[in-house]
């Protein structure tokens, strides 16, 4: 995530009103878990990273979405 997501969703920039560095990891909170599900869905659907950014490798995409899903 640091390599592919934080440039647009981190401390320096906040695209789409999403800062992953500030998104809590309390998956017992339904609202927070829902935001993480949205992240995973956008990666799975190929919407993120956007077309003008380097694509995630299949292994990186799987690692991120698996981590989110397991939470």
- DSSP for 6-71 reads TTTBSSS-BGGG--TTTS---TTSHHHHHHHHHHHHHHHTT-SS-TTSPPPPHHHHHHHHHHHHH-
pLDDT at 40: 97
Mutual orientation of helices 58-70 and 30-44 as an angle, nearest 10°? 160
65: Cβ contacts below 8 Å, ≥ 6 apart: 40, 43, 44
pLDDT(3) > 90: no
pLDDT in tens, 4-63: 899 999 999 999 999 999 999 999 999 999 999 999 999 999 999 999 999 999 999 999
């Amino acid at each position: 995530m640091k390599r592919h997501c934080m440039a647009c969703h981190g401390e320096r920039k906040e695209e789409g009103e999403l800062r992953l560095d500030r998104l809590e990891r309390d998956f017992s909170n339904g609202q927070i878990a829902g935001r993480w599900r949205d992240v995973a869905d956008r990666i799975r659907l190929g919407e993120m990273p956007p077309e003008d950014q380097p694509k995630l490798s299949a292994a990186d995409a799987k690692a991120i979405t698996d981590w989110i899903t397991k939470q």
